[in-house]
Structures are given as structure tokens and as C-alpha cells.
Chains A and B, each alone.
Chain A
Amino acid sequence: MPNFKEKLIRYQYLIRNIRDFFYSHNVVEVVTPSLLVAPTTDVYIDSIEVSVNHALSKSTKFYLHTSPELEMKRLLSKGSGDIFQICQVFRDNEHGHINSNEFTMLEFYRVGFDMHQLIDDIKALLISLGNDDPVKEISYAEAFYEYAEIDILNSDFEGLKNILESHGLNSDYEWIEDIQMVLFVHLIEPKLKTIPVCFIYDFPKQQAALAQIDGLVAHRFEMYIKGTEIANGYQEIQTSKEYRDRFETELGKRKSLSKSIGSLDDDFLDDLKVGLPSCSGVAIGIDRLFTSLSL
């Protein structure tokens, strides 16, 4: 089966080229634990629980990491400088032709970079991987103006509900960010299918996740390749208190949806007390990158 072997070798080249890119930029490769004491707090991401050491009568519950983000931020707070990692990550309740319970993630952090510098870094990475397709960069708000004539940042919950109804869509959503997302999926994403590489940046502050907020927007971005979401990145918040607040907000949302709730990762919050250096970081889905770029 020459095609099968050829594909394995092409994948090997991709991983090798990614490593070469980071090594040549003095970004250090790290490995962090996959077994964590606390599940993710993300409202729409579910950790897979595992139980170990039962036969030793020392039963312990762990959660497979859904991304290496927090463990890598512990390293950053200890002075690691620029770091990257390529690892398997695990998520429950993911199913579809481009979603699965396990996938390969490239996660990296550049100290002193703001969001736009990190986007430039990803563009340089794509070029080093042999992709020289034109790249479009557009803010979340501009994308909504351009493709749907909607003022997404200044529309309130009721206003967005009306827009959903005018498109004949169910408007039974809990939070404004959910409506922003369904409108994005319905009206914007299909338009991105004709664009080779597109960065969408400055998400509405309600979708900040762990990105710095600046007025109505958060310095968060996503990269789409031919309409498929490939990467998600932030200009990172830096203090332990901000992390605790964001985690608690997410846990509150999980609670109101009657989803499983874990404890907060206090060790992480303790480690972060010295603060995260000013940095930006991104997670890139390697399997999707491999398929969509036909590398």
C-alpha cells in the first residue's frame, strides 16, 4: 500500500517541519502531564475521567487533558520563556467527520508577543510548511459587517434573537455568546469556505475565554482554512485572580446547564500568583491542518 506509507511519511514531514521551525526560533519543546487533577472548566468542552490504582486500593480519579494550556502556563509562570508542545488531547462528547474524542494538538506560547505578532508567527510557520496561499485577516466585527450586515458588537441579546428569527432559526439560547456563535456558524463560516487561510480576530468580549479584554472585544483569534476552524489563540490574561474569575464564570454556566462540575485547579491558581509573563499562545489542530492543507 504505497499510498498509505506515503501518507505516513508526509505526516512525519509535517511534524518534523513544525519542530524545525520552532527549534530555529529558539522555542523550547516541552512535555506536560496528560493526567490532571481537575477537569476543564470550559462550558462546552468535557473532560474524560479516568480512574487508576484501584487494585492497589489507592483509587484516584484523573482527567485527561483537553489541551495542554494550563500545564504549559505553569511552566511560563516559572520562567520557561517561549515553549511549544505537540501532543494528543482528549475530549468527551465530540463526534462528527472532523470531530473525535482524541486528536493531535500543537500548542505554543511566545513571550512578549501581542495577538497580531502571534498571527504573523503562524503565517511564518505556514510558509515554512510549504503553504504560500494568500492569507486574509479580518476582525470578528468586520466579518459580520462584510458577510451579513450585522453590527455584532453593538447588538444586544434581544436584537440578536430577532435576527435569528428573521432567518427562521430557533432563538432558544441561554446567553448572547451562544447566539453570536450560531450566527457565525450559519452566516459567516460558509463564506469562509472559499478563503484559503483566514484569521478572524478580536472576538466579542463575551467570548473572551482566557484572552485579554479591551473594550467590547477580547484579543482572541481563530484561524480558518477553507472554512474549517484550525486554530484558536489568545493574548493571554496574566493574573491568578483573572484566571479564577474566568474559571468561575464558566463553572457557573456549566451549573446552569446541569453539566458535571469539577473543583478548580488550586495548584494552578497558586502557581499563577507570581503572574504569567506578557505573552500570546495558540492551539492548532494538527490533524485538520494536515488534511486541509493537503501537505
Chain B
Amino acid sequence: MNYSTSQFKNGMKLMLDGNPCSIVNNEIVKPGKGQAFNRVKFKDLITGKTLEKTFKSGESLEAADVMELEMQYLYSDGEKWHFMEPGSFEQFDLGEESMGTALNYLVEQDNCVVTLWNNNPISVSPPNHVTLEVIDTDPGLKGDTAGTGGKPATLNTGVVVQVPLFVAIGDRVKVDTRTNEYTGRA
């Protein structure tokens, strides 16, 4: 199945240079004296890189068979990370290179979105907010409850997040996975 430039819209998944890509932005440019073009910004779903291409209007690209499925993270055996689609109980696994930043936030039993291309998993998106446990941080200063300062804390996934001084080992904290920022105590 092919899509022509007139059908392009944000979020559409298309094949580009052999990789599945998602349209981030589609701009029609018609020079006064020239033919119409589409200047399109894509995100490569495998490498995560953004790229810009210009097509003459009317060109078409092959659709990418991409699905985003809600899955449960089961466990890691150190080499592969295993997930299960709860509807079908079908299991999928990804290598570290495809895990991206999801590595920093997923704990067993968490739900997340796994992207499949031709039924093979290519990437994982953690939920926007996760709750993790503090396993290491310096003791806080007595009386500091306003959280004006900050200190690094290591969470149970290994990720390090800046937290307010009052946060202690054993606390459960909420983290925004898009910015790696502490958003509150759980």
C-alpha cells in the first residue's frame, strides 16, 4: 500500500530508505514560479533520528506495517528484555539497543507501549510517569521541607534523578520519563 503526498499527515508511518518512519511535520511549499513540493520531517522509528526530505507533490511512499501495542514488561535475562501482549499472551523480546531510555524506567509488571514493525518489536515507550524507589541518596538536611535545593538519587532501575533534599532512601517517587524529572513523592 502506498500513500501519496496529498494524503500525508502527522503520525503516518511510512518506509524511507528501508526504515519505518513516522511523519512529524508536513509542509506544502509551492514556489511562485515552481512546482509544488512537500517538505516533510520524519522520525526514524529504529534509530530515533529525525530527518527532513522534500518530495514533489504527487510522489508516493510505501506504508510501513507499524503497530503500537500496550504490553507488560516481564523480565530481563541480561541480554534480552521480555514483554507480553496481555490480550493474546504472545511474548516479544528486545535487545538493549532497541530499549532506548525505557531501560531507565521499567520495572517488572509495568505496562508500556511496544512498537512492532512487520510484527517484530523495534522500540519501547515507557509510560509518561512512573513510580520508582530510591535506593541511594545522601541524607537530607534537617528542616529543609521546601525543596529549594536538590541532590542526586539513584532509583531501583539504576537511573539517577535530581530530587529535593527531604527525599530519603526507601521513598517512592514519581518521575516524568520524558524529561527524567522528579515530579513528587508517591
| Residues in chain A within 8 A of chain B (CB atoms) | 42, 44-45, 94-97, 99, 168-170, 173, 177-178, 181-182, 184-186, 189-190, 207, 209, 222, 229, 232, 283
User: Min CB distance, B44 to chain A, in Å?
Assistant: 12
* B31 on the A face (CB < 8 A): yes
Contact between chains at A207 and B39 (CB < 8 Å): no
Which chain A residues border B36 with CB–CB below 8 Å?
Answer: 44, 96, 99
A169-B55, A207-B33, A229-B32 are known contacts; what are 4 more A-B pairs with Cβ within 8 Å?
Answer: A96-B30, A99-B28, A181-B34, A185-B37
Contact between chains at B37 and A182 (CB < 8 Å): yes
Q: Which of A94, A168, A170, A181 contacts B17 (CB 8 A)?
A: A168
Which chain A residues border B17 with CB–CB below 8 Å?
Answer: 168
Which chain B residues border A169 with CB–CB below 8 Å?
Answer: 53-55
Contact between chains at A190 and B33 (CB < 8 Å): no
| A44 and B55 alpha carbons, distance in the complex (Å) | 16
Find the A residue at minimum CB distance from B31: A181
Find the A residue at minimum CB distance from B55: A170
Cβ contacts B1-41/A at 8 Å (1 or 0 each): 00000000000000011000000000011111111110100
Which chain A residues border B32 with CB–CB below 8 Å?
Answer: 45, 222, 229, 232, 283
Most buried by B among A45, A173, A185: A185
Q: Which of A95, A173, A184 contacts B31 (CB 8 A)?
A: A184
Q: A168-B53, A170-B56 are in contact. Are A178 and B30 (CB under 8 A)?
A: no
Contact between chains at B30 and A232 (CB < 8 Å): no
Contact between chains at B28 and A185 (CB < 8 Å): no
Q: Which of A94, A184, A207, A222 contacts B30 (CB 8 A)?
A: A94
Contact between chains at A99 and B55 (CB < 8 Å): no
Which chain A residues border B55 with CB–CB below 8 Å?
Answer: 169-170
| A185 and B31 alpha carbons, distance in the complex (Å) | 8
Q: Which of A42, A177, A189, A232 contacts B29 (CB 8 A)?
A: A189
Contact between chains at A44 and B33 (CB < 8 Å): yes
| A222 and B34 alpha carbons, distance in the complex (Å) | 13
* B59 on the A face (CB < 8 A): yes
Contact between chains at A229 and B28 (CB < 8 Å): no
| A277 and B32 alpha carbons, distance in the complex (Å) | 25
